[in-house]
Amino acid sequence: MIENFLILSCIGQTHKIGLRIKNNFYFYTIEQKENKHDHLVLNILNLLKKHKVILDNKFSIIVNIGPGNFSSIRTSLSVVKGMKISKKINLYGFNNADLEQFDQVNIEFLIDKGLLQNKLIKPIYLS
């Protein structure tokens, strides 16, 4: 069961970040026109620091694997794979079509129905 997690949906113009810690949900949106990819890591680090999150093997990251913008998906996958390697975090992927809206109810539905991939994450790009 996934309890504490960070969820990223970076597939287009707007990046959405969610965090569940101790049954509390926090949601953030990054809507920067330029260099939003540069700010993704800083936003994640600031969010984790603000909520005093401990990154270990009990923490999970859930990332949107598409379909979506090539550079947005590649950036988010690179960031989360780096976190997985360095902190031994569990990594899961989900298809954009499986998450109707980026909110607590739909994210819990996504997890409860087993719509996450935890083996090889294959991104889906828009052409």
The pTM is what? 0.88
Question: Which pLDDT belongs to residue 18?
Answer: 94
In the β-sheet with 59-64, what is the strand arrangement from edge to edge? 24-30, 15-21, 4-10, 59-64, 90-94
Burial class (CB in 10 A: 0-12, 13-18, 19+), 11: buried
Per-residue pLDDT of the chain (127 residues; tens, 9 = 90+): 789 999 999 888 788 999 999 989 999 988 766 555 677 888 899 999 999 999 998 999 999 998 988 888 998 999 999 999 999 899 999 999 999 899 999 999 999 998 998 876 777 777 6
Question: Which pLDDT belongs to residue 34?
Answer: 58
Tell me phi and psi for residue 47, to 5 degrees: -65, -45
